[in-house]
Structure 1
Amino acid sequence: MIETFTVFEGARRLATGPLAEVALAVKRADGTHAPIMIFNDRTGRPVDLDLRETGAAVASRLHVEAPPAPEPATVEPRGRGRPRLGVVAREVTLLPRHWEWLNAQPGGASVALRKLVDEARRTSGDKDRAREARDAAYHFMSAMAGNFPHFEEASRALFADDLRRFAELIADWPADIRDHAIGLAYRDRSP
């Protein structure tokens, strides 16, 4: 799934799409007097971009830019685990009774923990997606509508999962901001 971004010029939505497309929309809008803000649609958080280059240079950089390469790791003797599967060793702090139960499970503590995490992800997937959608809407609203009428009440309705009340409270906000907040809040469900 391609990560999307949305750019606003003041209260007007300019574009939504991959970062390179949104950056080019900002370059085309250059010279306007309204503030420009770019948001990550998954998180609802603002994104800062360096757009001082030409439009072609910005687009080229954003299309091919990869995260910096990690520092070369020192060669250490190969230990236990399954590095080819992406297994990462980290510390977990549990009570002794938890360790006793985990160690008694077939495959040991690591296998039992992976199974527990996978099961929790399966059973709480819808709740997690709804929470992420609410959080994204709230982050966006805080940046764009924190001073708007009914912001506090709308935030409470959003976190109470009262999406009908939420939509009523923001009905008078500028259309693009209102529609984007609702779109983020409802993301995978209908109002």
Structure 2
Amino acid sequence: MNPAYVAFEGERRIAAGDLPEVVRTAKQLLDRRKDAAILVFNGHTSALVDIDYRGSVDDVLKRLPKPAAAPAEEPPAPAAPRGPGRPKLGVVAREITLLPRHWDWLAQQKGGASVAIRKLIDEARRSSGDKDRTRLAQDAAYRFMTTMAGNRPHYEDAIRALFAHDRRRFATLIADWPADIRDHAISLAHSDQAD
């Protein structure tokens, strides 16, 4: 399981854990070495987290983005005016666009269009769960590798091996990369495996 956040200073991983813990370590390093270049990544998606390091550690921690809820089953719906739906149950009406034949088919389903669509989505999520996890793991590894190793030897071949699901070749191609970068890339690439 990858940590929630990871910080790198150059080729070296300096912290991993929750965001305040990682940022505290990063800020302490920056206070000792003003020339340090630190990148903080979301440990699951490899999205870069923008941190404002001005001021004291407490100042920096106060400005951190509010923690997002644990990865939800579905992204939260944007605020919408009250209307159709069951807001207390988390059901929110939104617009979808379908062809007339799709609407005709939905109208014939037991329970109506909403029930049929929810069932179709639930079934698709069940049947594609492994593929989705693999795709998300590959995307996270790709994002991290592009940021941290885009100029490393064998980068492009390693990306090809990642998306070809060739784990042995992937590991071989990045074997000579700095240990922290290599190990984190492998961890991300393999994060699709169920625990």
Q: TM-score, normalised by structure 2?
A: 0.85
Q: Does 2:165 match 1:161? A: yes
What is the alpha-carbon distance in structure 1 between the residues aligned to residue 13 and residue 157 of structure 2? 24
Is 1:36 aligned to 2:54, yes or no?
Answer: no
- Compared with structure 1, are the counterparts of its residues 66 and 181 closer, same or farther at alpha carbon in structure 2 (3 Å cutoff)? closer
The CA RMSD measured in Å over matched residues stands at 2.4
Deviations 1:15-59 (A, max 9, x none): 111111110011111125342111111111211111213112333
Deviations 1:32-88 (A, max 9, x none): 53421111111112111112131123335549x478xxxxx89x6x53321111222
Q: Structure 2: how far apart are the matches of 1:32 and 1:61? A: 20
Alpha-carbon offset, residue 119 of structure 1? 1.1
- Report whether the alignment pairs 1:45 with 2:37: no
> 2:7 maps to what in 1?
7
In the TM superposition, 1:90-105 aligns within 5 A as: 90-105=94-109
Q: In the alignment, which residue of structure 1 is the partner of 2:86?
A: 82
Q: For structure 1, list consecutive stretches of 5 or more residues without a partner in the other structure.
A: 68-72
User: In the alignment, which residue of structure 2 is the partner of 1:70?
Assistant: none
8 Å contact 1:20–1:58 — kept in the other structure? no
**1:4–1:40 Cα contact (<8 Å) kept:** yes
Inter-partner Cα distance in structure 1 for 2:44 and 2:148: 16
Equivalent positions of 1:1-191 (< 5 A) are 4-30=4-30, 31=33, 33-62=35-64, 65=66, 79-189=83-193
Q: Structure 1 residues 180 and 2, CA, compared in 2 at 3 Å: closer, same or farther?
A: closer
Q: Tell me the SS of whatever aligns to 1:92.
A: coil
Cα deviations by residue, 1:104-150 (Å, 9 ceiling, x for unpaired): 11111111111111111111111101110000000000000000000
Alignment-mate amino acid for residue 98 of structure 2: L
Fraction of identical pairs, as percent: 60
Paired residue secondary structure (2:83) = coil
Q: Which segment drifts farther, 148-157 or 92-101?
A: 92-101
Return the letter of the residue paired with 2:24.
Answer: L
Look up the equivalent residue of 1:179 and give its one-letter code. Answer: D
d(CA) in 2 for partners of 1:2 and 1:8? 15
SS in structure 1 of the partner of residue 92 of structure 2: coil
Check 1:174–1:3 CA distance in 2 against 1; reply closer, same or farther (3 A cut): closer
